[in-house]
């Protein structure tokens, strides 16, 4: 784990060196980014795999983590989706709020490390934040962002939704 990339959970206390509480029964844990979550609300390439991941999360078969910026990125993408009317947008945001994604609050001290990771990997700082969280937690990152898929490895295991399900 890189010491200069630190996240803390806003919803759970630190235990045994982990940033998130671990359930008594094992559930695979993944960091998920906005490019996957947006597919829960709009028909796009690989939406079926993204919806399968959502179902797995809702049924307790997988745990999802994300930096707290996820909600802003998803809200922004949905806001610019011309197919969604205002009421649809509000409904999508309510639905997103009901998904049990553990969010990690960002530590300001980690910003330099995230920026360095962004430069090294030629990513946006936003994308580097997801990668940094996956690296920090030692779990795979699930993304539909092609650049992040290419540039994120080998720093962390980075999977597309179809790769997650062996397609």
Q: Tell me the pLDDT tens digit for each residue of 48-70.
A: 999 999 999 999 999 999 999 99
Both tokens of 162, joined, read 């179809």
Fold of 7-12+28-164: Rossmann fold (3.40.50)
Res 157: pLDDT: 82
Which sequence spans correspond to the domains of the chain? 7-12+28-164
Per-residue pLDDT tens digits for 101-156:
999 987 888 889 999 999 999 999 999 999 999 999 999 999 999 989 888 777 67
Q: What is the mean pLDDT of residues 92-97?
A: 92
31 contacts: CB under 8 Å, gap ≥ 6? 64, 65, 66, 130, 133, 134, 137, 139, 140, 141, 142
pTM for the full predicted model: 0.80
**pLDDT single digits (tens) 26-50:** 689 999 999 999 999 988 888 999 9
Three-state DSSP class for residue 103: strand
For the chain, give the longest Cα–Cα distance: 46
């Amino acid at each position: 784990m890189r010491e200069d990339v630190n996240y803390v959970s806003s919803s759970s206390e630190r235990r045994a060196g982990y940033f998130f509480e671990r359930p008594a029964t094992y559930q695979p844990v993944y960091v998920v980014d906005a490019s996957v979550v947006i597919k829960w609300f709009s028909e796009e390439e690989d939406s079926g795999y993204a919806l399968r991941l959502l179902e797995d999360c809702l049924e307790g078969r997988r745990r999802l983590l994300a930096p707290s910026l996820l909600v802003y990125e998803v809200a922004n993408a949905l806001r610019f989706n011309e197919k969604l009317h205002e009421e649809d947008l509000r409904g999508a945001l309510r639905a997103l709020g009901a998904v049990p994604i553990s969010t990690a609050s960002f530590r300001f001290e980690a910003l330099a490390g995230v920026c360095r990771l962004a430069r090294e990997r030629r990513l946006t700082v936003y994308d580097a934040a997801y990668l940094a969280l996956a690296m920090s937690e030692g779990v795979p990152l699930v993304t539909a962002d092609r650049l992040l898929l290419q540039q994120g490895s080998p720093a962390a295991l980075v999977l597309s939704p179809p790769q997650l399900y062996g397609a």
